[in-house]
Amino acid sequence: MADPKPLRIIHCFRSPVGGIFRHVRDLAEQHAKAGHQVGILCDSTTGGAYEDALFDSIMPHLALGLTRLPMQRSLGPSDAATAIRTFREIKSLQPDVLHGHGAKGGAFVRLVGSQLRVSRSCVARLYSPHGGSLHYSERTLRGQAYFAIERLLERWTDNLVFVSDYERRTYTDKIGEPRAPWRLIHNGLRDHEFDPVGTAPDAADFLYIGMMRDLKGPDVFIEALRRAEQLAGRPLRSVMVGDGDDKPRYQARLDALGICGRVVMLDAMPARQAFAMARTVVIPSRAESMPYIVLEAVAAGKPVISTRVGGIPEILGQDFAGFVPAGDAEALAVAMSQDIQQPHWLGAAMPDMDRFRSQFSARAMAERMVSLYQDCLARKVQDTSPRTVSSLS
């Protein structure tokens, strides 16, 4: 991965929570260790104490620093002011690479990067959707508007980077065949994350870990848990870990069902710490791209029950026995009760660990990514060389 000329890399994304933040932290750490200079620009209005601690852990790897500006989730008038401030901040850092993650981060880096190019700056502009605007339906006006914007921004994109083949297919289905070059680079895990996580003696039966919003399915998990108790014929204990604005609503639903005494709801914490609290991890998401939580659970040796959405089949295998339909609480309850009644059922269905490790390594991910950055910069140099200019005149 080492390069004679260290790259100056800026990652821009909106919300410093979840998989995007994890992805950027891994890239920043690996690239900094390889001698490159890395900076992060993201939203200042989201995240809490847990995310602050994560920023503290990554700061030693951020030679170009951390910049936080207010970025709203939806499009709005405030985006213009944020874009201007983003341009000023990024211009002062003189990056070689601008890598945008998610719809808002991707829009900012391509607009800012294109403005820098006007000033003769040879900066590479890359975009990873990570789901983002792809979560919207093409049958809605909002979805159509976002897809039209994505299509327009392709003009100022040097490379698209997909973290799963599912994401690439979704992009093609909703936006169209990419007009910009693209590359598939799977997410990866650090070496220590492949160490098994033991289960605490007083562990619960099931763990939900993720953002507390309906898109990730905590509401389905709660309904399925009550039904699974009926099918299994005994009370079940669970842990729910995560943050989000909808968390009070889920707590109210647990109270209404009368199972709040058997479900512990905790704030966000490191995944491996949460894995020790339960025997089986449940991923009830309605939509995903290439979720780190599934990668982390498999690497930690935890059995998984999951919806068959997004890039999850690329992790668990197309025919994984623990798949359930998204949004189907009854099917999830059946799988949870089967896990209770047949404790070894899921363990036998999990991916082969040697093959899994070779495919989903953070080191390999980072090497592939910096190779792509260098390819993009080589193309930019060639495009602006005197020979190229004269051939077009």
Please report, rounded to a whole number, the percentage of residues in the chain having pLDDT higher than 70.
Answer: 96
Q: If pLDDT is split at 50, 70 and 90, which confidence band does 3 have?
A: very low
Mean pLDDT over each residue of the chain, to the nearest integer: 92
How many whole angstroms separate alpha carbon 310 and alpha carbon 46? 25
The mean pLDDT value for 75-94 works out to: 85
Out of 3.90.850.10, 3.30.390.30, 3.30.70.20, 3.40.50.2000, which CATH number does the structure's domain 192-355 have?
A: 3.40.50.2000
How many whole angstroms separate alpha carbon 198 and alpha carbon 272? 10
Top-confidence residue, 145 or 121: 145
Chain centroid to CA 233: 37
Residue 22 backbone class (left: φ over 0; alpha: ψ -120 to 50; beta: rest): alpha
Query: Which residues are bridge partners to 141 per DSSP?
Result: none
Predicted confidence (pLDDT) at residue 135 exceeds the cutoff of 90 = no
> In this predicted structure, what is the pLDDT of residue 381?
67
Q: Where in the chain is the domain with CATH 3.40.50.2000?
A: 8-188+361-392, 192-355
How many whole angstroms separate alpha carbon 316 and alpha carbon 192? 20
> In this predicted structure, what is the pLDDT of residue 75?
73
**DSSP secondary structure letters along 234-262:** S---EEEE---TTHHHHHHHHHHHT-GGG
Residues, the chain: 393
The structure's pTM equals: 0.80
Predicted confidence (pLDDT) at residue 255 exceeds the cutoff of 90 = yes
Q: How far is CA 246 from CA 41, 74, 212, 216, in A?
A: 26, 18, 6, 11
The mean pLDDT value for 70-82 works out to: 78
CATH topology of domain 8-188+361-392: Rossmann fold (3.40.50)
Q: Edge-to-edge, what's the strand order for the sheet holding 263-266?
A: 263-266, 238-241, 204-209, 278-283, 304-307, 323-324
Q: How many Cβ atoms from other residues are within 10 Å of residue 148's Cβ?
A: 11
> In this predicted structure, what is the pLDDT of residue 383?
64
Q: If pLDDT is split at 50, 70 and 90, which confidence band does 188 have?
A: very high
